[in-house]
Structure 1
Amino acid sequence: MTEKVIYQALAEAFVREGVDTHFTLMGTGQMHWAIAMSKMPGMKTVHARHEQSACAMAIGYHFATGKAGIASVTCGPGFTQTITALTSAVHAKVPLIILAADTPAGSRWYLQDVDQSALTKATGAHYIAGQSPQLMLAYVQEAFYVANYQRRPVVLSIPYDLMKLPLPQGAEFPASSAIIPKLRPTPPNTDDVVELAALLAGAKRPIVIAGRGAVASGAGQAIEDLADATGALLATTLPARGLFDHHPFSIGIAGGYSREIAVETFAGADFVLAVGASLTHYTVNGGKLFPQATVAQVDREPLGLQQGRRAADFYVKADAKLTAEAVLHEVKGRPVAATIRTPELAAQIVQRADDSTEVDIEKELLDPRLAVRALDDVVPRDWEVVSGTGHCAYFYAQMRNRSPKRFHVLREFGAIGSSLAMAIGVAAAKGDGKVMLIDGDGGVLMYAQELETIRRQGIKLLICVLNDGAYGAEIHKLRNEGVDDSPAQFGRPDFSAIARGFGLQGSTVKDLGDLPRLFNSYSDSKTAEIWDFHISDRVVSPALRKYTGHG
């Protein structure tokens, strides 16, 4: 019987864990594993041009599928290039698994040696040192267990000379599904339900905020019914944006990305119920969003101290959907005190702009707010949208009636540059070309080499660049401080020409009325495309105005 080599056995173990797509930048350390993976039946392999991008693609794949994202890199500099994406995944609790080669165990000295364990632990990710040939398959089980059950990124680091050894006889692969606890959703305590019902029924200006946990548990309808029964308004965190857009009393995103009408309404709230929302610093706008409100939080793991602030006044540790349904049952038949829902407010929610600030836009340039609204009108609602993280991200966060399951954003670490690769991961998962990335010029240029990946891999994707020729957040902060902003300005690159240089399609959008024609052209083609919107840098997002104290 031919002995099985460890790298082959590892590839087979990943497949048994349900992996059908992986993202890699091949190096000496893990090239045999990557090739073995690519030869697995039904496997899709995306070869990136940068290790950071390979990891960000895996994050995008997770957002699109809910499955763990898989990336692989070589040792030393190959691994150090992943740190930003790895840290972002830790902050966002993304189940990301990086198979990273490590320096040869049989070498006394190696040029690319670095302490990968220390680097991994500094990010907060879980580190597995794959030092034992006998335990190689058990390491895979641990990696998938930690990633999927703990929702924590994992680095599986294996000396690459060990990968080429025969798999020891008797080594077995116990899939992680055999050890991941099958837990039912946790129902709320009866006393907590009674108290929450009393708080909601007694509030005159209640608002319910749904977060990512509410989306994951399928609690949207139950929360909406509860709000209707108690006269509360509806809102969401940024990751859950769009969940209630169809509702006449949904005020949109809570926090730094709140619309003007939402900021004004939250200021008068006397009770806020957060369901499946962690109430981060940005969700509560540093504690300034609803200063008069009593706050209750429903979460599977409520935290009393969240990012340096007290999170809430009252906590319920339970499933979002079960809690909303239980409180709805308890509150039925009770008189409610809410007076916050009025016809006038419903009209303002519809009629008032996301940002009504008047700006004198230069000739030949576009208002980014209008550009995003035009895109929102043209691109169908069943498309996946990947959001960049720069200054203009506020504007595309306001796109309406788009499911949070189709709107992908990674802001937990505040790193720009990953969104192009994330969009590639989403597009690789979907495979239908119905994916739109909206990002700034600075973010797209950071990893523009991945445009070659898009062409080579035949990935269809629409890339919309809001091009102000600068790092937008920095120029507005410098201007606010009265400092010369020219070092943050670089001129508007011609993304249409850049696209063609990489073998893609490209158009410079000068008239928003051209978008329907451009969209039809993209739909009929088989090639990825970049739309280059030359926007004015005079428009300051409300989020940044709050930061600088001017809004």
Structure 2
Amino acid sequence: MSDAGHDVLRVYDILARSFVQEDVRTCFSLLGDANMNFASRLGEQGCRMIYVRHEHCAVAAAMAFARKTGDIGVTTVTCGPGLTQLMTALPAAVRARLPLVIFAGEAPLKSGWYNQGIDQAPFVTATGAAYHSLHLPARMPTAIRDAFLQARRERRPVVVGVPFDLQDLAWTGSEALPSPSRTLVPKLSPVPPHPDDVARAGQMIGEAGKVIVMAGLGAVEAGAGAACRKLAETCDGLLAETLPARGLFHDDPFSLGVAGGFSSEIAFECFGEADLVIAVGCSLTFHNAAGGKLFPNAKVLQLDLDPVSVNQGRIAADAHMRADARLGVEELTAALTRRAPSWRSDDLAERIRTLPADSMSFDIEPGVFDPRDVVAALEEALPADWEMVNSSGHCSYYFAHMRSRPQSQFLTIREFGAIGNGTSFAMGVAAARPDKTVVLFDGDGSLLMHVQELETIKRHGLNILIVVLNDGAYGSEIHKLRAEGLPEEGAVFGRTDLAAIARGFGLGGETVTDLGSLPDLIDRFAKTGGAAVFDIAVSDRVVSPVIRRAHPPRS
């Protein structure tokens, strides 16, 4: 039987059916010769196709979609340059452990030479992603199923490459498709801890004076938030979250917020006093420990399904407890004797609540704002149920300290340190949460890297408000250059009129010159919906503590 009234059933028809069989309902795409037939058929079969303007953005949007839905993000690109454009997004997805399946065309096998032909597999595997060339049509449906299964099991991107002359062949095999991957994934129950591990961990806690329970995405996925709160309370300890899990304890008076390079001053103070950090569902990265500066005097007990001793070039943990995050924390708490409150005092709670994340004073030039004041005004004015997306770059430090925002509504993906992903992440969240308003926090340099996606946002009717801290520069670079005493011209570009650019793309655009106007502007946007850019000029003299610690001025 042909698809959508077409006379001949082609291989690309079966490939599209194989993706639909995997319950793919959203695909981020950019068309070219080697994937356009497949993508068109996928759209005809009911998949929502979001056609972006750059291949990198397709993958980055799929990353945010995967994080928000807990499902596989799907992308399709053409061969050659379509595939090589993915080289920044793929390692970010690998390091963030995001499952993606990417359908990439390959050059036709029948051609002795093809302009866009290239050996694609080495590019992909160099990023840590998997690559599979599909050259036998009869096995392609099973190979697609296996790619989804691999992405689910290994939690990383899998790229399937299909020569487009093979895609155009008439399909001569069976129209019956293999069972979808979701029916083959082992249904495993949460792993409880071993009693010996609980006893050893309990002894460590008993010998510790000041304990901090630090939760990561593993704790989020296991639903261990409430259990972590109880553990901290039981051992008179404090709470903290890794950057991707920021906001998990946003309403707890003894939460220090982000643990890592983005930590507040009070968090650095308390981590400095701690002699035991219980890391629940954390990968214990270099930045999570601020390169060893955050908790230099503390032992680390890691509670994780896959615990490690060394990660990213440093000893990450001193002791381990293998278990599901929730079950492990619950059993550990049950084994402890409750301590009388000492560290958890009313005075400390008040300091956590009232002290600024960064108290450094700067001289702000006329006509621009301190980015910390902008974030405070947004924190007050933005509706509580809107979805927040933090980009990367210098400005992302300030937005990470919006303490009232829960983890479930605040997305941060920074594992590869690349800027320019904000618009794509926002599109992915908007696709995953079509009934919500999405707010993207970005910098001018990051937005301008892929400003073409404003047209994608407009064309697909995505409900996104983009708030830009415009310092007229690449913020991190300008501060580092100044600290080194080097010329800064290469990082300073002037404040582009981003509101005018947004209007040129058919979006709303506002240049904010009074922070007091934000409530009215946000209220107006909430009533009209659509998409808009709020351009807010900020001082390039305000240096985040992340930069100040890593790049102190040379004497």
TM bucket, shorter chain: over 0.9
Q: What is the CA deviation profile of residues 314-350 of structure 1, one whole-angstrom value per residue up to 9, with x for unaligned ones? A: 011211000011011111xx26487422222111101
Alignment of 1:400 with 2:399, yes or no, is: no
- Residue 107 of structure 1 and its aligned partner are, at CA, apart by 1.3
Q: Is the 8 A contact 2:387 2:436 kept in 1?
A: no
Offset from partner CA, 1:2-45 (integer Å, 9 cap, x none): 5631111111111121111101001110100110111113x211
Contact 2:282–2:304 (CA under 8 A) maintained in structure 1: yes
Partner of 1:379: 382
Q: Residue 85 of structure 1 corresponds to which residue in structure 2?
A: 89
Q: Which amino acid aligns with 1:372?
A: V
CA positional deviation for 1:456:
1.4
Aligned to 1:112: 116
Tell me the secondary structure at the aligned position of residue 439 of structure 2: strand
Corresponding residue to 1:223 among 193, 208, 228:
228
Q: What letter matches 1:257 in structure 2? A: F
* Structure-2 separation of matches of 1:55 and 1:487: 29
Matched, 1:103 2:104: no
- Offset of 1:198 from its aligned partner? 2.2
Deviations 1:442-497 (A, max 9, x none): 00000001111111112121000100000000010011111121221000000110
Counterpart in 2 of 1:69?
73
What residue in structure 2 maps to residue 207 of structure 1? 212
Alpha-carbon distance in 1 for matches of 2:529, 2:292: 48
1:239 has 2:241 as partner: no
- Distance in 2 (CA, whole Å) between partners of 1:378 and 1:366 is 17
1:164 paired residue among 157, 162, 168: 168
Structure 1: distance between partners of 2:281 and 2:432: 27
Residue 429 of structure 2, aligned match among 406, 426, 438: 426
Partner amino acid for 1:186?
V
Offset from partner CA, 1:92-116 (integer Å, 9 cap, x none): 1111111000011111111111111
Q: Give 1:241's aligned amino acid.
A: R
**Aligned equivalent of 1:177:** 182
**Stretches of 4+ aligned residues off by more than 4 angstroms:** none
Match of 1:311 among 311, 316, 319: 316
| SS across alignment from 1:226 | helix
The amino acid across from 1:265 in the alignment is C
Match of 1:123 among 124, 127, 143: 127
The letter for the 2-side match of 1:301 is: D
Map of 2:15 onto structure 1: 10
**SS of 1:316 mapped into structure 2:** strand
Return the offset for 1:166.
2.5
Do the aligned partners of 2:257 and 2:403 also contact (CA within 8 Å) in 1? no
- SS of 2:244's partner is coil
Give SS of 1:283's match: helix
CA contact (8 A) 2:381 2:518 kept: yes
Kindly indicate whether the alpha-carbon contact (under 8 Å) linking 1:210 and 1:275 is maintained by their aligned counterparts in 2.
yes
Please name the residue that 1:195 is paired with.
200
**295, 303, 311: which one aligns with 2:300:** 295
Q: Which of 510, 513, 538 is residue 535 of structure 1 equivalent to?
A: 538
Task: Check the 8 A contact 1:433/1:459 in 2, yes or no.
Answer: no
**Which secondary structure does the structure 2 equivalent of 1:193 belong to?**
helix
- Report if the CA contact (8 A) 1:206-1:340 is conserved: no
Q: How far apart in 1 are the matches of 2:338 and 2:325?
A: 24
**Equivalent of 2:261, from 250, 256, 259?**
256
1:271 is aligned to: 276
Instruction: Name the aligned partner's letter for residue 105 of structure 1.
Output: L
Any idea what the Cα deviations from partners look like across 1:21-80, whole Å, max 9, x if unmatched? 101001110100110111113x21111011111111111211221111111000000110
1:524 to 522, 527, 531: 527
Q: Counterparts of 1:49 and 1:284 in 2: how far apart (Å)?
A: 37
User: TM-score normalized by structure 2?
Assistant: 0.96
Partners of 2:65 and 2:338 in 1: how far apart?
47
- Number of the residue aligned with 2:5: none
Distance 1:472 1:445 in 2: 13
In structure 2, how many angstroms separate the alpha carbons of the residues matched to 1:340 and 1:321? 24
- Give me the whole-angstrom Cα distance separating, in 2, the residues matched to 1:361 and 1:245: 30
Contact 2:482 2:553 in 1 (8 A): no
Cα distance in 1 for partners of 2:239, 2:529 equals: 40
* SS class of match (1:498): helix
Task: Note if 1:35 corresponds to 2:27.
Answer: no
Q: How far apart, in 2, do the equivalents of 1:428 and 1:530 lie?
A: 19
Contact 2:72 2:151 in 1 (8 A): yes
Q: Distance in 2 between matches of 1:16 and 1:165?
A: 21
Question: Any conservation in 1 of the 2:484–2:553 contact (CA below 8 Å)?
Answer: no
Q: Is the 8 A contact 2:80 2:118 kept in 1?
A: yes
Counterpart among 320, 325, 328 of residue 323 in structure 1: 328
Q: Hey, what's the Cα distance between the residues in 2 that align with 1:522 and 1:197?
A: 52
Q: Is the 8 A contact 2:390 2:440 kept in 1?
A: yes
- 1:327-386, Cα deviation, whole Å (9 max, x unpaired): 11111xx26487422222111101100111111111110110110111111112221111
Residue type of the partner of 2:473?
A
Question: Are 1:386 and 1:436, in contact at CA under 8 Å, matched by a contact in 2?
Answer: yes
Tell me which residue corresponds to 1:53: 57
1:433 Cα deviation (Å)? 4.8
**1: CA distance, partners of 2:215 / 2:432:** 27
Partner SS state of residue 126, structure 2: helix
SS in 1 for 2:95: helix
Q: 1:71 to 1:463 in 2, by over 3 A?
A: same
Q: C-alpha separation between the residues in 2 aligned to 1:33 and 1:363?
A: 55
Aligned residues: 548
- CA contact under 8 A between 1:440 and 1:466: conserved in structure 2? yes
Q: 5+ residue gaps in structure 1?
A: none
- In structure 1, what is the equivalent of residue 148 of structure 2? 144
Residue range with higher mean Cα deviation, 118-127 or 165-174 = 165-174
